[in-house]
Amino acid sequence: MSIQSGCCCCVNSDCSVLNSADNNRRSPRNTGVIRPLAFLVVTALLAMTVSHVCDKFSADSSFRVIKSDLTTLRNHLGTLSIEVKHVMKMRDKLESQLAEINEIILKVSQAIHQLDVGDIRIDQHNIKNVRDVVKNELRTYDADKTGRTDYALKASGGAIISIRDTRPYEAGSTSSLTVFGISICHPQNTPQSIIQTSVLPGQCWAFEGISGCVVIKLLGRVFVSSVSIEHITKDMSPTGETSAAPRDFSVWGLDHVDDPNGFLFGEFTYNNDGTPVQEFPVQNLSEESYEIVEVKFHTNSGNPVYTCVYRIRVHGTLDQ
């Protein structure tokens, strides 16, 4: 019995040792397979998550850019729609005026015919006088609307040499119209526009606030006799109002651009309800000629945000 028990114990002991050895041999093998597999799974999940987040962020960012551009485009289309409506109104008004002119011409023709029929002779001298008046008016309008030389005109040699500390008004005048980040419209807004011949809605120099100044170099030394200011009419304005037109201003003759003791030609007021081109004879006539003229704008016609200047002319006699 004792021997059998001892054998059984020995046998059981050997079995335990063998089982323990087998477990020790299997454990490293299983660990070597499971760990890399788990690492691959976790890495793949992280990669998928990061990719999803990046795609979502990129989509949201692109959507915001597109939405912003569409909003900007919608705003500009609204402005263009308003301008088109004003152009249509102007066209209808012009057609109505042309119709009235045609009626007047027809009535005049009928009246002349009746006079001829009644053997009432029209004085040929009076007809010639009427024709001369019409020709002179047409010649005056064709000669830059004033019939007088503009010594500030850029095409003739005039130039803008300073605007002092006047700040150009950026919004609306130099803002770019972009679609999906691409600029398709970039209007100009420089002081040079006020000494050029084109005077169309929007082709003006706008500056911040109600006061500012501009220094103009004339084509030569000039005995200044008058200054003309031009602004578009309310009928031509896309918004139907011209409150940004200049009002009170003064004109000075300078010996040089930084001359602190300029000669005051006068202080004037532009009437926004008057004709587009208004000429102002100088109040103080100088015996000296000037090549540099400064125009200081003190107030405008009511716009508190900006002032818009379309055209400045300087008239007089060139110093030979």
Q: What CATH number did the domain enclosing 204 receive?
A: 2.60.120.260
pLDDT at position 170, please?
A: 80
Comparing CA positions, the residue from 183, 187, 185, 193 lying closest to residue 170 is: 187
28: in domain: no
Q: Quick one: pLDDT band at residue 165, thresholds 50, 70, 90?
A: very high
How far apart (Å, rounded) are the C-alpha atoms in residues 232 and 63?
Answer: 42
For all residues of the chain together, what is the average pLDDT?
Answer: 77
Report phi then psi at 35, rounded to 5. Answer: -65, -50
How far apart (Å, rounded) are the C-alpha atoms in residues 64 and 29?
Answer: 54
State the total domains in the chain: 1
Instruction: Locate 29 and state its tokens.
Output: 């093998």
110: in domain: no
What average pLDDT score do residues 200-224 get?
94
pLDDT at position 10, please?
A: 42
Asked whether the predicted pLDDT for residue 5 surpasses 60, the reply is no
How far apart (Å, rounded) are the C-alpha atoms in residues 184 and 30?
Answer: 67
Q: Quick one: pLDDT band at residue 35, thresholds 50, 70, 90?
A: low
pLDDT at position 76, please?
A: 67
What average pLDDT score do residues 225-229 get?
97
Q: Quick one: pLDDT band at residue 240, thresholds 50, 70, 90?
A: confident
On the 0-12 / 13-18 / 19+ scale of CB atoms within 10 A, 139 is exposed
pLDDT at position 126, please?
A: 63
* Reduced 3-state DSSP string for the chain: CHHHHHHHHHHHHHHHHHHHHHHHHHHHHHHHHHHHHHHHHHHHHHHHHHHHHHHHHHHHHHHHHHHHHHHHHHHHHHHHHHHHHHHHHHHHHHHHHHHHHHHHHHHHHHHHHHHHHCCCCCCHHHHHHHHHHHHHHHHHHHCCCCCCCCCCCHHHCCEEEECCCCCECCCCCCCCEEECCEEEECCCCCHHHHHCCCCCCCCCEEEECCCEEEEEEEEEEEEEEEEEEECCCCCCCCCCCCCCCECEEEEEEECCCCCCCCEEEEEEECCCCCCCEEEEECCCCCCCCEEEEEEEECCECCCCCEEEECEEEEEEEECC
261: in domain: yes
Q: Quick one: pLDDT band at residue 63, thresholds 50, 70, 90?
A: low
Least trusted range by pLDDT, from 18-32, 82-96, 148-162, 185-199: 18-32
pTM (whole model) above 0.75? no
259: in domain: yes
How many residues does the structure list for the chain? 320
pLDDT at position 202, please?
A: 83
pLDDT at position 8, please?
A: 43
How far apart (Å, rounded) are the C-alpha atoms in residues 206 and 228?
Answer: 18
pLDDT at position 185, please?
A: 42
Least trusted range by pLDDT, from 28-32, 64-68, 293-297: 28-32
Which range of residues forms the domain containing residue 214?
149-318
Asked whether the predicted pLDDT for residue 17 surpasses 60, the reply is no
How far apart (Å, rounded) are the C-alpha atoms in residues 231 and 285?
Answer: 26
Strand-pairing partners, residue 290, are 222
pLDDT at position 188, please?
A: 54
pLDDT at position 1, please?
A: 42
Distances (CA, A) of 290 to 24, 191, 216, 262, 320: 110, 21, 11, 10, 12
What average pLDDT score do residues 16-35 get?
52
When comparing pLDDT for 250 and 47, which is higher? 250
Asked whether the predicted pLDDT for residue 310 surpasses 90, the reply is yes
pLDDT at position 15, please?
A: 47
260: in domain: yes
Least trusted range by pLDDT, from 42-51, 230-239, 249-258: 42-51
When comparing pLDDT for 305 and 1, which is higher? 305
When comparing pLDDT for 69 and 51, which is higher? 69
Asked whether the predicted pLDDT for residue 39 surpasses 90, the reply is no
pLDDT in tens, 130-153: 666 655 554 555 456 677 899 999
Question: Which distant-in-sequence residues (6+ apart) come within 8 Å of 237 by Cβ?
Answer: 86, 201
pLDDT at position 33, please?
A: 62
248: in domain: yes
Q: Quick one: pLDDT band at residue 128, thresholds 50, 70, 90?
A: low
